[in-house]
Amino acid sequence: MSDGKPFRGCVVSSTAPSLRRTYNFVILTRMHVMSGRTQTNRLHQQVAPGAGALAESLNLQDAPILQTSATCKSGLAFIETTCSEDTPLIMQPFYDDAFLISLQLQAWDFDLYADGRLIRPQGIVAGATLIADFRYSPAYERREPFHAVDLYIPHKSLNALTEDANAPAIDELHHVPGNALQDHVTRHLLLAMRPALSGQSPTSELFVDYVARALATHVAHTYGGMGVRLEAKTARLARWQEQCAKELIAANLSGNITLTDLAKACGLSIRHFTRAFRGSTGMSPHTWLLQRRVDKAKQQLACSRRLLAEIALDCGFADQSHMTRVFHRVIGMTPGTWRRLNQRCTVEITSPILSNSDPSLQDMRSAI
């Protein structure tokens, strides 16, 4: 029933015990492809199901999914996949015109079937990256639990990047199916999304958008062969565009504004806006947002005795510890230390217990 063409990168074994154990499973998988990928495409001429359908096919209906707002129309999404011994061993074939960039958080053993052909995975260890091409209807037979954090990239999202970069469309991501990669950029970017996926750390939409575009662009360059277009000069925003973007960010220090919003306000594509904003300010929109939060925190630290936790929330930080981490990274010291060195305003202290005539209150005021 095969088209007779070997699947690139496959290691096929027709006598493997796992293949014999799952003979019926492989036959059902081959029914999806019958005459190769052409038949597969004909059987799936529907709207791309997206990350939610992927989670359901893996029997992980409760997997956390973080959809990016800037590219929601094309379906870019982060997802954390994990399973225990109770999850079914065989994960059914899944088709979509999309790719999955998957960072393995633990080693695991499994067999991969792509277009019904058995592939022996290699190098699946913690910290490794796998690329899955869902146009080959991959299915999995696992022998151990797994845990991964992933970016779901519809094919049209990659081509939106190439169109914006005036580069040729991407048809394939160059990789050997089932073979793990050591990709430090992918690892760090996906690990950065774990707190947001777990719900442990509130994350701004601007940050999610930025990481998603950064990783998708890295994938397009590294595995899709997207070339870098040389610019005649560094892109910059017009004065009104820069002022508009800065005012919008400053008015939304909580981060509830997206790259889409900023680019649209400036009349630019997301990629052009991001590049031009960096050219004008020397930093990314998210970094500029963090700098404005720190600036506002410095004003309040210098001229008030409000609690650090209150200042953190008022300045758009998730909590006091978040403000402390960012403040230390930007300024080089903690907010408390900076306050002791820079507090300059006399602050009126009121108390429901002490009256204005109380001598102890006068002593407290004079000590400030």
Torsional sign, CA 52, 57, 62, 66: negative
Name residue, tokens 């059914």.
92
* Structure-token pair, residue 152: 């779901």
Answer whether residue 106 shows pLDDT above 60.
Answer: yes
Q: What is the C-alpha separation between 158 and 326, in angstroms, rounded?
A: 32
When comparing pLDDT for 116 and 218, which is higher?
218
Percent of the chain scoring above 70 in pLDDT: 76
Please choose, from the candidates 235, 218, 224, the residue with its C-alpha nearest in 3D space to the C-alpha of residue 280: 235
- Per-residue pLDDT, averaged over 119-132, amounts to 92
Tell me, yes or no, if the pTM score tops 0.75.
no
Sheet holding 65-67, edge to edge: 65-67, 77-82, 147-154, 98-104, 129-133
Res 160: pLDDT = 86
Res 205: pLDDT = 82
Answer whether residue 228 shows pLDDT above 70.
Answer: no
Res 49: pLDDT = 59
Q: Are 294 and 327 in contact (CB under 8 A)?
A: yes
Residue 47 in 3-state DSSP? coil
User: What DSSP string runs through 148-171?
Assistant: EEEEEEEHHHHHHHHHHTT-PPP-
Res 83: pLDDT = 82
* Structure-token pair, residue 10: 């496959």
Residue 334 in 3-state DSSP? coil
Q: Round the average pLDDT of the chain to a whole number and report it.
A: 78
Please choose, from the candidates 131, 148, 16, 18, the residue with its C-alpha nearest in 3D space to the C-alpha of residue 80: 148
- Per-residue pLDDT, averaged over 333-355, amounts to 65
Q: What is the C-alpha separation between 297 and 250, in angstroms, rounded?
A: 13
Amino acid at 49: P
- Per-residue pLDDT, averaged over 320-344, amounts to 90
Q: What is the C-alpha separation between 141 and 118, in angstroms, rounded?
A: 10
Percent of the chain scoring above 90 in pLDDT: 37
User: What DSSP string runs through 245-267?
Assistant: HHHHHHTTTTS---HHHHHHHTT
Answer whether residue 153 shows pLDDT above 50.
Answer: yes
Give 249-263 pLDDT, tens digit per residue: 999 988 788 888 899
* Structure-token pair, residue 260: 């889409």
Res 166: pLDDT = 78
DSSP structure class, residue 302: H
- Comparing 88-97, 147-156, 308-317, the range with the smallest average pLDDT is 88-97
* Structure-token pair, residue 59: 């029997």
Answer whether residue 279 shows pLDDT above 70.
Answer: yes
Res 73: pLDDT = 52
The pair phi, psi for residue 66, each rounded to 5°, is: -120, 100
- Per-residue pLDDT, averaged over 267-288, amounts to 89
* Structure-token pair, residue 247: 């005012």
Res 21: pLDDT = 42
Please choose, from the candidates 83, 36, 34, the residue with its C-alpha nearest in 3D space to the C-alpha of residue 61: 83
Answer whether residue 29 shows pLDDT above 50.
Answer: no
- Comparing 6-10, 288-292, 309-313, the range with the smallest average pLDDT is 6-10
Res 32: pLDDT = 41
Q: How confident is the model at residue 151 (pLDDT cuts 50, 70, 90)?
A: very high
Answer whether residue 57 shows pLDDT above 90.
Answer: no
Residue 90 makes CB contacts below 8 A (sequence gap 6+) with: 22, 25, 139, 140, 141
